[in-house]
Amino acid sequence: MGEMSGRSKIVIGVIVAVVIMCVIIIPITVVVNNQRQVLETTKATVATTVPTTGPTTPTPTTEVFTNPDTCTNIQASQRFDCFPDTSKQNKNQCEARGCCWLPTNVVNAPNCFFPPNYPAFTAAEQNVPYGKKFILTRNQRLPAHYASPMNSINLEIQYQTENRLRVKFTDNTRNRYEVPISFPTMTSNQQAATNRSYDVEVKTNPFAIIVKRRSTNTIIFDSSVSGLVLEDQFLEISSRLPSIDFYGLGEHEHQSFVHKNWNWHRWGMFSRDEFPGPERNLYGVHPMYLNIEDDDANSNVVVLINSNAMEAVLTPLPGITWRTIGGILDFYIVLGESPSHAVSQYIQTIGLPYFPPYWSLGFQLCRWGYNSLDRVKQVVEEMRAADIPMDVQYGDLDYMRYQLDFTYDPVRYDGLPAFVDDLHNRGQKYIIILDPAISDNQTSGSYPPYDDGLSRNIFIRHANYSMLTGKVWPRGNAVFPDYTNPSGKTWWKNLIVDFHKTIPFDGLWIDMNEPANFVAGSVTGCPNDRYNNPPYKPKGILGKNLYDKTICMDGQQAWGPHYDVHSLYGYSEIEPTLDGCRNATGKRGLVVSRSTFVGAGKQAGHWLGDNWSGWPPMAYSIIGSLEFNMFGIPYIGADICGFFNNATADLCNRWMQLGAFYTYARNHNGNGFLPQHPAAFGSQNAVNARKVLLTRYRLLPYLYTLFYHATTEGKTVMRSLMMEFPRDKIARTISRQFLWGSALLITPVLEPNANSVYGYFPSGRWFDYYTGIEFTQKGNVSLSAPADHIPLHIRGGSIMVVQEPANTTVYSRLNRFTIIITLDDNSLASGSFFWDDGESANTISNGMYTYMNMSCTEGQLTVNMVKNDYTIGPTLNNILVYGLKVPNIVATEVGGRFTNHQWDSTNKILNITGIGSSSLNYNMNGNGIIITTILVTTMGNHENDKFSNSVSQDISTSATSVRKNMNTLDPLVDESTISASVTTSNDVFLLLDPMNNAKSSAGQDEISMMSNTTSRIG
């Protein structure tokens, strides 16, 4: 028995040893095989190095983190993905991460998902004056999802303002790449903002952060719904959202303004040379969203300041997962009382938009493929012959010699400088295209941009210092400037200034700056390293590799590896381009960039890229334009009539009507397609284009004023109905209409062969822009829209200044103004007017402008001259008042003199003009602060002359009082004229009196002239 017992022990010992070896060896074999598989599937064109950090498969943990019962309690709609590499996931690998594995038939729902209270980190608080600070410690019993987890995290929660906080996760053991753009921050000794609209709760074990609106207790950000993963090349955090009234995330071609796809849809964000289309990451990166929280329209904006490749996943909870493969997690959360309030604060946070020159609001024309200056001249002459307004002609790629920057073709474009001079003489401008790629194979000494750049060492190189060479438009191969290098900025700016001496351009259009590359990575391929083949590539990003259609990720730049700063390439080009333009021209200048990033609107505008000629892309352009206004880039538009394919006459006619209300209105055509400039489709299209562009030019003073508010307050210009009517649930969904500011509603036709269009009219009063007649229907209404007409409506309660149009802004700015007043239900209205010289740099910061606030309240039109430091040449021609609720108007007085007027008693439209002429000819500066008072006297049906004489006496007394108390420029008409005017009718008297240089201690002018027989408008 003893011997048998010994043998048994030996056998048992061997079995145990074998089992142990199997437990050890089998998982290792799985790991190695999996690594080999990953490396084989991501092999680069040229593998010059082995990966310094390769992807790993998590090994099974000895601790069970998931409870099967807990997993089954999570509904499919509540799942957050724990294994985004769906093609590689399986039960064992999922559970090795401590996650739940439960396959489902719900479309796109993850089979592998985070359990409740995923124990990734614990938190310990440290006292700081600026808000909260925590040290997060990683649970090291959990395996890495990919590789190189961060085990100690520094979390700063900065209470920056009463409505804004910053939540920033950084590695506590080493410095990591952070976006090198200045955004608001707080130092260690700054005090937290008081009277905050938010509360922050931090759970310590396991860690989670929850941000709530204090007034409603609404959860704005809640990371407890999922796991927090922080690794070297994989960072992920998720949050619950308060509602599905969700907008933003860019740049994409969204097909609805409010997001509708909550089916775990991945929106990739990584700058890419890609034609607009569904499910594509496009030219710019804006990881920002707006979320309306409740019926009262409380709203918040969240932005992730990260420039690495990323994706945002929308889940049906509703929730959002942020997933990026580098940098840090750095969030700004902004709370507002409304969508517009939240967005304006967001824009103030990232940088107020650039103030464009006035001429850039005119119509612009471009095509790739004129192929000769003669053809350009022919097109311009066709526009002039059709009398179509136009401010800007472009030079696209074909003006260059061999597509080389800072050259022009001396044969096909012979005489280009003289042509540009002629444009200037006719009040027009010229903009040229510049691409970043610089040819590297011109004859030595013959191409200064390359020679000088090489001597300055400003072209991007591989990590091994060899030149990174690609292929773009220039003849031969190309190299790529590093605009993050200070020497590179100087080089670029100098080239711009020097080239202006040859071609006196007025603005610059920078294209292909994602940067685009016609080969994958470089002409020799990319090293197979951690940058070019990271362990995880976001699935929402197009392309087999990160370097698809761009340069290698190991490229070295001053701001860091291209892997980190790729999506900042266009952003970094903007600043030296604008500096060069302004130095060259000596004026405000303009830059329009294809690639943008958070804050790019401070110095540039944008167009929506190489779109298709078609009805759906035209409609989607409204959504893109509204989004970029939220992104802080209000100078925005799509290529009118489309860039690719041949546009039809019907499409181009309607697109010209829509495009006339882009803030950036440019018709742009691709190479080899039929001409599509407005005169190309025959006389009727030309007439229709002229009509709508004259409407635009008439409205430019209003549009320019909107840009003033954008650049000083962060307000949107091209504005969604949701912004103005946030409590209206239908308005939150509108994608096919929009507003200019708060006052002008645009309802374009977006379907072929249509003579009508449905538009949504929210509550309030609306007036037909063209006729002034009140539009009384509400809700979805069918509007007449023949081929020559785009429906426009002015919102009641608005005051806008417009101007007689001309064929260029140089000449329209010389014409007289009109003030349009549309009264709301309470017979009130307000507006403003900004004016400067339209082209000088820094007129706002230098105070060289005139600005006035206008309000119509309690019978008074008050014009408060806030600033009066620019002389306005044109005078006021007339005043239009829509929506008066009175039976008749007897007489009108403006500037101390009685004037002519026309009163439409049926439609309640008043037109106040000058006496004895068609114009008031009133000075818009007013030699100081102006107060204009409207007096309305309602007489009713008088039965005897005694009452009429009493009214006449009151009016005469008022006029005499005005003469004694006002420093007027023009004499009043005599009292006999006044009496004669009054006794001709016995209904209503309207008086507008400007008060000149009468300022109270509060800086406001006041005048009270209301007699017993007067009442407010309405």
Any idea which residues carry the catalytic annotation?
511, 514
Q: Which SS3 state, helix, strand or coil, does residue 174 take?
A: coil
Mind giving me the DSSP string for 568-620?
Answer: GHHHHHHHHHHHHHHHHHSS---EEESS-BTTGGGT-EEE--S-BSSHHHHHH
Q: 168: which strand partners?
A: 156, 330
Q: If we measure between CA atoms, which residue out of 410, 438, 703, 414 comes closest to residue 551?
A: 438
d(CA 44, CA 917): 78
Rounded CA gap, 373 and 953, in Å? 71
- Contacts of residue 981, defined as CB under 8 A and 6 or more positions apart, other chains included, come to 890, 891, 898
Identity of the amino acid at 880:
L
As a whole number of angstroms, the distance between CA 56 and CA 147 comes to 6
* Strands, E assignment, 696-849: 718-719, 738-740, 744-746, 756-761, 766-768, 774-775, 779-784, 792-795, 798-803, 817-822, 829-835
Radius of gyration of the chain (CA): 33
CA distances from 81 to 63, 114, 151, 311, 556 (A): 21, 7, 22, 13, 34
Other CB atoms within 10 Å distance of the CB of residue 21: 10
Q: Kindly list the distances between the CA atom of residue 931 and the CA atoms of 277, 823, 853, 865, in Å, as whole numbers in the listed order.
A: 52, 19, 10, 8
Contacts 24+ apart (CB under 8 A), 137-144: 138/230, 139/206, 141/61, 141/62, 141/63, 142/61, 142/65, 142/97, 142/98, 143/58, 143/59, 143/61, 143/96, 143/97, 143/98, 144/56, 144/58, 144/231
The alpha helices in 42-132, defined as continuous H runs, are: 68-72, 91-96
CA 894 to centroid of chain Cα atoms:
41
The span from the CA of 593 to the CA of 600, in Å, is: 9
Element (H, E) at 379: helix 373-385
Q: What is the 3-state secondary structure (H, E, C) of 863-906?
A: EEEEEECCCCCCEEEEEEEECCCCCCCCCEEECCEEEEEEEECC
Compute the distance between CA of residue 920 and CA of residue 818 in angstroms, rounded to an integer. Answer: 10
Backbone angles phi, psi at 332, to 5 degrees: -110, 130
User: Residues near 991 by Cβ (< 8 Å), separated by ≥ 6?
Assistant: 891, 892, 893, 933, 934, 935, 958, 1009
What span, in angstroms and rounded, lies between the C-alpha atoms of 150 and 234? 10
| DSSP β-bridge partners for residue 972 | none
Provide the 8-state DSSP code for 941: S
The residue among 399, 594, 388, 606 whose CA lies nearest residue 505 is 399
